[in-house]
Structure 1
């Protein structure tokens, strides 16, 4: 009686493939959540161009939004919990996929420079780490503990923002992080659309690349405007 030894291998390979696809979908979905968040966050930051009162009123409104149905800062905590969950999913999926890609190599080989790959794709992992480290500092700076690098008061959101970006080195750190964010968004948008099956034709691939560039320039550029204009003295106390 003949035995079928190939079936378990096929099933195992199929499960691994489905698991990999699931991880990529989780990365794409959590990435879309972050794109939505940074767009809203960027809009809030640009309120700085309207002046002290407009910026602080926006910051205060975020904390009172939904009252009395929601408690003070209720909306912010809902958003924070959702973002933390999305971050855990995004980072865990990225780590799992990276481990799989590493263990899939059964033999060591010399890695040749891929001239056809984009800078954003080659820096995807390190860019993600850079963004994660910056995120921790950004929360310490403006949300958790509120650290004023200039040594001033921290109870006024607008003044804290101006004091921070009046320091050239803080602006440089912020701009480097925005460069990493732009590159991450560029390739991440392409990868997400590819995972979701939206790059099947040449025209669709072109649109996906364009969408990646538009999001990268709009979001990273929009975030960069405020620190630059603070440093130049256009936005001030």
Structure 2
């Protein structure tokens, strides 16, 4: 039974229609993630405590089931899998279409393409590499061109975006992502059969406006930090500070000022 289902899914994926559906669904998942990620980044404007608390909440979400930060890693792995599937399927779909279409049609189709559609094949793999580097810099701290502290989201962003070329790369990559998104969202509506003459104007507006909003939302953070329009991070003070009382006893001074063993 399962083998039969797998064979049917594989047969569907090998067809041009199947690939378009996979591209649309994986792209839709990435689109929703970008909206959620951008809205989360807006906690930066509430200040250091707000964005760090939001980040802590994400790391402790469903901690009883997946452990500390476990849910976030499941989401990240799912994101990378969806992005990889999206890019690979687009490449396979383009190759399949080129084999199926006559040369004359290809030239006519090429002349009608927009800047967004022409950069899809370039921006896709580029975005995949950027996402991996982004996780290595801001999530794991593996790539550390600037100071990094786990959990100190505001400070990590501030330290990174004080370096002009890091801020510039971030903004340029967001431009490519949103250019890709503009064409991708519109193509998603077409692939899923949502578009028609009555709705096309509204759907085109959704793809345009959402791409602009996402670009402005993401790019505003490095721009504001590099221009010093957001305050620098303040050192975090521990709520409890150890006070040594003799060689074999350690007391902790609580916020109320009382010494507790």
Whether TM-score is above 0.5 comes out as yes
Q: 2:201 aligns with which of 183, 187, 206?
A: 206
Give the 5 Å matches for 1:81-160: 81-104=77-100, 111=107, 116-150=112-146, 152-155=147-150, 156-160=152-156
Q: Does the aligned pair in 2 maintain the 1:148–1:154 contact within 8 Å? A: no
Q: Does the aligned pair in 1 maintain the 2:13–2:19 contact within 8 Å? A: no
Deviates more, 1:55-64 or 1:16-25: 16-25
Question: 1:7 is matched with which residue?
Answer: none
Structure 1 unaligned runs (5+)?
1-14
Name the larger-Rg structure.
2
Q: Does the aligned pair in 2 maintain the 1:149–1:163 contact within 8 Å? A: no
Alignment partner of 1:68: what SS?
helix
Q: 1:24 to 1:134 in 2, by over 3 A?
A: same
Deviates more, 1:205-214 or 1:183-192: 205-214
Q: 1:87 to 1:57 in 2, by over 3 A?
A: same
Give the 5 Å matches for 1:61-100: 61-100=57-96
Count of aligned pairs between the two proteins: 221
Normalised by the size of structure 1, how large is the TM-score? 0.84
Q: 2:176 aligns with which of 170, 173, 180?
A: 180
**C-alpha separation in 1, matches of 2:68 and 2:176:** 34
Q: 1:158 to 1:92 in 2, by over 3 A?
A: same
Question: 1:232 is matched with which residue?
Answer: 227
Q: 1:125 to 1:110 in 2, by over 3 A?
A: closer
Question: 1:11 is matched with which residue?
Answer: none
Question: 1:191 is matched with which residue?
Answer: 187
Normalised by the size of structure 2, how large is the TM-score? 0.77
